[in-house]
Each structure stands twice: as structure tokens, then as C-alpha cells.
Chain A
Amino acid sequence: MEFESIEDVMKRLEKAGYIASREIATVVFLAAAGNKPILVEGPAGSGKTELARALSTCMNRHKIRLQCYEGLDEAKALYEWEYAKQLLYTQMIKEKINDLISGADTIADAVERIADQEDAFFSERFLLARPLLQAISADDPTVLLIDEIDKADPEFEAFLLELLSEFQVSIPELGIRKAKHIPMVVLTSNNYRDMSDALKRRCLHLYIDYPEPALEAKIIRLKLPGIEKRLADKMIAVINRIRELDLKKRPCISETIDWAQALAVLRIDEITREAMSDTINVICKYRSDADMVKASMDRILN
């Protein structure tokens, strides 16, 4: 087994720079033990993609990333035949082909002889592996990150099913490719649309929410070791109060870290009105949100 226990997962993830809650660690542990993909949901900036990075670091595996978007298809995600190369090769070995069929008595015979060589043109040499095929055919085990799966079309989701349950892909010309090593698969979703039942059935589900204040403090101290405890606690209290507001985009853990960095660079060690309005753009990504925070500044700071 990859991990010994849930505690082991937590410890190793922490060493890789990721503080996991017990729930996250449990799901990661189970996924690693049972070779199951993890479907991670949660608000933007809560560390979904970061989890995959930390996993690849702590398991000492390569990370292969597939970013999904509308219109993503098999040719971009799985494999493509390198037609240009095939064409070039045919031109180069034209004469050789002439030699090959020179002794043939009938056309049927000539066709037969060429057909014998067909495999040469549909072989690995002309196959351009895209992330999914790379993950499956890699010599060492990998971590495969399929990012923002909800942005891809529903058809693409259907096409992932074979990969996620059997860890194999079918290439019509070559047959079925089985994975040499089963990759650790992490799918992330921002809840832009609902996933199909078939996909959900093949994955373990994990929801990463805004972290508990204690956990968030731990994360900040890990990312910025020099930060004063008093300041960090105050920051987290403020951020949590901002999260209670009815904002378009609530600040997540990544915004908290950015904010802490901004404060450190500006050498601010006291959160005051001025400090807040100077750095508000780090926390709020929309102007209307920033305005709303400014309007309720008194409540937030006390």
C-alpha cells in the first residue's frame, strides 16, 4: 500500500506543503489503497489543484495535467496520429515500396504485400500521446490531474469512463492499451454543472470547504513561517467575517495566503482601516465586492 495509515497521509502531505483535514486525508488514503479516482469539489481557491500537486510531491511521482475546456476532444486529451510524419515517411520510402511490389504477379498480390507492411504505419512511432495516454503508458506511476472537468462537454465525460474504471484506453488501430501502473487520478470540479451519475459512480467524492480557522492558521504559518501569530489570528478572523458577507466571490484560502504575503511585503503588522483599504484588492476580485467590504469595515474589524 502506498500509505500506511491516515496519519501517514497527513504527515506526508504536510511535508509536501499541504495541510489536510482529517476528511481529506481519509479520502486520499482510501483512494490510494483502492486505486480509485478522487472527484474533488469546492469553491475556487480552496486548494483542489494544490492537493494534486502535493500528492505528486509526497508520492514522488510525476504529475500529468489535463486542463479541461469547452470543445476539448479525444485528439487533444488522449492521442493523435501524426499524419505529417506518416506522410513524410511515405514519401521517403516510396522507392522501397516499389521494390516491394516489383516481383508481384498480380495486383492482388501487390496489395497483399503492402498490407503486410501496414503495421509499420500505425505503430507507436506515429502516435502522439496526449496527457491521458501519457499517464497510462508511463514507465513509472504518475499522478494524473484532470482539472475543471465541469468545463468540458458532457461527451468528453462519457469518454473518460473507460479510463477511470478500467484504466485502459482503446485505440482502434492498435487495440486496447492497459495501464502499466495505475495512476493516482484527481478530478477537480467547480460545480459549474452537475457531473453524470456514471462518472460519479467511478470516483470517490471529496468536498473541500473553506478551512476551519485553526487549520487556516496552520496553513498560513506553513506558507509564511515568519508571520506573527497575533497577526495571523487577526487576519483569519477578518477573512471569516468577510466570508459571511454576500459577495460575488468569497475569499478562499489562496486569497488569505496572497493577503498575508501582501501584508508581509508592505511590512504591515497591524490590520487597520488604511491597511485594509490598501490591500483590499488582494482579497476581493470584483469591484462591487470591494465596495461592500469597505462599507461594512467597522463590523469586520471589530
Chain B
Amino acid sequence: MMHLLLKFAAVCRSGNLRVSTSEVIDAMTHLQWIDFSDEAGFKAALKANFAKSRRDQGNFDRLYHLFFHEMQTSIACDPKGGQNDELRQIIATLRENEDLHEPVDQALIDFLQGDPAAFLQEMYNLENREEYRSPALKSNLGQLSGRLAVMLRINALKGAIGQASTGSGADPAGGPTAERLLGRLDRAYKMLTEDNRPNNDALKKVRSNETHFKDIGERSFAALSPAEILQMQEIIKKLVRKLRDRMGRRYAAGSRRYLDVKKTLRHSGRFQGIPIEIKYRQRPLKKAKIVALCDVSGSVWSAARFMLNMLYSMQDCFSAVHSFAFISATTDITEIFEKHEADRAVEKILSSRKIEFGALTDYGEVFQQFRRNHMHLVNKRTTVIIVGDGRSNYHNPREEILADIREKCRRIIWLNPEPEDFWHTGDSEINTYKAYCHELRPCRNLNQLVDFVEDLVL
């Protein structure tokens, strides 16, 4: 039992679940109290110990099924004892095969023997490896070609199994053992192609139908005329003033003071122990830090500019606002917004030479650059806001970086300026990214923007 459990823990770890030694010990203890004939109980006990959040449960179920069902039944529990020798023979032949000495091959042979840990690790490495590429030659094929290489190895192994089983003297078509081995390789093949995303039940999807403003409030940002943009800016100014007032009231309520007895007593020493000077406990409200990543290509930018405009005019509501513009690379635009008035800032950004406006949007690259250069801005008090349509021109989306950011920040809010009907079409990766966001909102017009900002500050 111990051995089996340790093996399963190893599988879970390579399958991207965090299982610590203490959890394995707990699970071992718990299994003593459980009746093994009742599988639901057995699974529940392991699940309670190994998958400690809703997000991990999908992944756990998958690994559990793989390990305890697919890996155990077909080969290990052989009804007729005789075939086990044949299996051992085939595996031995495969291990000795000169052509199959790469780590991937060994991992695959382990997989055939019922131990998927090494193979899962290979897959994990494949998904999470860093890609270094020259900016001139854009390609997102690193991960894909990595997978392709594994697929080729699977095919090579299939050929080798065929040879080994016919060579062992059994019937020429390759006996039932070989067939089962081939079936298992098909399973490995399928695992390479299937997607595996965390359960994100808690994702807050906001679809506000509130109308703060008629007409102009409902018009899409992209469809505004220059005159309307001016009008919009007036409205935003007024709104910001209103929101700040409300914020101020909240601070007034929050700074209601409590007697700090410790301090009062300490100071009373000066007056022979009589507390003349009353001291209060002051707990300043914690202000949020904001990191905004804005897509500045085409229609998306029109939404981002208004949002940044608003955030910056309310800077005193947050302890820090950092913003980055991106298309295929991130550019820090914090300073421009701090120094200049909103309109000027927007103009400056749009004429900035640092941003490559001709390039194709590439979210994966952008996230990677952000992680490399600006990750220190993100901590447990940071709200990360991403404004973009998630259209990554079929480049590698690198969603694992977003998962990384999620671990470090307080919230990730994604604002999508595209009409909702188009979200899951074409090269949009919003479905992929959605699994790692805390909140997903459409943000096409002023009403939706106002809703968002109100939620954020109040």
C-alpha cells in the first residue's frame, strides 16, 4: 500500500499538484481507517489530502483515473498468469533497444509498465519551458514541435513493440499483450493533445445592465466621434469627482479612532501615571496597488485609454498605479501618465517610438516579458488589470505565466472590449486565460467602465 501511495504522490507531483510529505503521511494514516472495498471512500480520503482547492480537483480526478484505473487494470491484473512473462520480455527488449535511449523513451516505457510519473513530468516540462527566440523571427512552434517530437517517439516505440512481440515467438500479429501495450501508447498520445485547465468556478463574470448614462454611455468606445470623445472626457471628470467624494467618506468612517490603551499608559508615565494624554489606535485603510496591462492595438486601445484616464485621475485612491502598454512587447507607460494630462499622455503613447505598432499582438510573449522584468511589482496587495481581447494571432498563449501571476497577486481582472458573441471565435484565447482570472468583464462602453471602476474603488 505504502509503495502504491508513494507512486501516486509522485504522479500527482509531476502532474502539477503540490503534494507535500506531510500530506502523504496524513493520507497513509487515514487509509488505515478506511475500508478499501469502498472506492468512493478511498478516493474521498485521497482527494481530501492531495487536492486542497476546488481548482485542483479536476486535475486530481484526471490523475486518479489515470493511475488507479487505466494504469492498473489492463496489464497488472492479468487474468491468465502466463502473459506477464511475455510482457516482461517485451519491456526488457525495449529497454535494451539501442534506438530508444532518450529520456522520453525511458519515460514512455515506464508509462507502459504502469508508472506515468516520468511521462507526466516530461509533459509538464514541455508546457513550462522557457522559450528564447529572436524578436526578428517570430515563431510559437517551440512547444508544438516539442510535442511533435514526443509523438514521433511514441510512433517509434510502437514499431519497436511490434518487432519485439513478433520476435518473441508469439503469433506474428503481435499477441494481446502487444495490443494492450499499443492501446496504452494511444492513451499517452491522447494525453499529449488534451487540454488540462483548472476548475475556475469562482470566476466572477460580470455582465452589468446598469445604465448610468443614456446614449453616450451605451455607445461602443470604438465608435465615438472626436466630439463625443471630448464630451466623454467631461463626463469622466465629473464622475471621478463624485467617486472621490464617496471614497473620502469611506475614509472618514474608516478612520474612526479607538483608544490605544498600551500607548496611553506608556505616555501617562510622564504625568505620574494619570492618563492625561489620550492616544488612539490608528489603522490606516489599506490601499490597493494597481498594475494595468493594456493592449494598444486598434479598437482595444480606445477602451484602455479611458480606463487609464480614470485610474490616473484617481491615483490618490490607490497606493500605486503602474501601467504598461503592449502589442508584442511591454512598454512602461507609467511615467507618461504621471507627468502629462490624460489627453497629452494618450497622444504621447500613440506616437511613442518604443511601441512597435506594426507588430502582431502576442500575449504569450508579453506575459513572459512582464514576468521577467516587472514581476516585483506584483504582491498580495496588487490588483492586476488586463485590458485586451485575448487575440494572440495563434501564438503560444503561455497561460502558465498568468497562473504564476495569479499566485502572487490579489486579483486578476480581465476587461474585454470585444462584443461577447465574438469572445470564443477565431484566434481569441480568452477561454484559455479565463481559467486563471478572478474576474472577467466586458468593457465596451462607458456604462460598463463606470461599473468596473466603482467596484474597484468602493
Contacts and interface: CB of A to CB of B under 8 A. Distances in A.
Contacts of A246: 205
A23 B53 CA distance: 15
A27 B53 contact: no
Nearest to B29: A34
B49 interface: yes
Interface stretch (B17-25, B67-75, B392-400): B17-25
A197 B18 contact: yes
Contacts of B48: 26-27, 30, 204-206
Q: Output the residue of B18, B20, B45 with the most chain A CB within 10 A.
A: B45
A204 to B, nearest CB: 4
Interface residues of A, number: 36
Interface in B39-53: 40-41, 44-45, 47-49, 51-53
B33 A30 contact: yes
B22 A84 contact: no
Interface in A34-93: 34, 36, 39, 41, 43, 71, 81, 83-84, 87, 90
A194 interface: yes
A290 B253 CA distance: 34
B22 A201 contact: yes
B244 interface: no
B111 to A, nearest CB: 29
A43 B202 CA distance: 8
Interface string A186-218: 000011111101001101111100000000000
Given A23-B40, A205-B47, A34 B26 contact: yes
B262 interface: yes
B171 interface: no
A23 B42 CA distance: 10
Contacts of A204: 26, 48-49
A201 B51 CA distance: 10
A6 B41 contact: yes
A45 to B, nearest CB: 14
B23 A201 contact: yes
Given A30-B33, A33-B33, A41 B53 contact: yes
Nearest to A36: B26
A39 B57 CA distance: 14
B30 A34 contact: yes
Contacts of A203: 52
Contacts of A190: 202
B261 interface: yes
B106 to A, nearest CB: 31
Give the size range of B's interface with the partner: 35 or more
B388 to A, nearest CB: 23
A224 to B, nearest CB: 28
A207 B47 CA distance: 10
Given A30-B33, A36-B26, A201 B44 contact: no
Given A34-B29, A34-B30, A83-B262, A200 B44 contact: no
A273 interface: no
A201 B52 contact: yes
A41 B33 contact: no
Contacts of B273: 90
A229 interface: no
A205 B34 CA distance: 17
Contacts of A197: 18
B241 interface: no
B54 interface: yes
A52 to B, nearest CB: 17
Contact of A43 (B40, B44, B201): B201
A22 interface: yes
B212 to A, nearest CB: 16
Contacts of A36: 26
Contacts of B38: 6
A49 B87 CA distance: 53
B129 interface: no
Contacts of A39: 52
Contacts of B45: 26-27, 30
Contacts of A83: 261-262, 265
Interface string A208-250: 0000000000000000000000000000000000000010000
Contacts of A200: 52-53
Interface string B1-41: 00000000000000000101011001001100111001011
Interface of B: 18, 20, 22-23, 26, 29-30, 33-35, 38, 40-41, 44-45, 47-49, 51-55, 57, 201-202, 205, 207, 209, 261-262, 265, 273, 275, 283, 380, 406-407, 410-411, 438
30 contacts: A6-B38, A22-B44, A26-B34, A26-B41, A26-B44, A26-B45, A27-B44, A27-B48, A30-B33, A30-B45, A34-B29, A34-B30, A39-B52, A83-B262, A87-B261, A87-B265, A90-B273, A190-B202, A191-B54, A191-B201, A191-B202, A193-B438, A194-B53, A201-B22, A201-B52, A204-B26, A205-B48, A205-B49, A207-B54, A288-B209
Interface of A: 6, 22-23, 26-27, 29-30, 33-34, 36, 39, 41, 43, 71, 81, 83-84, 87, 90, 154, 190-195, 197, 200-201, 203-207, 246, 288
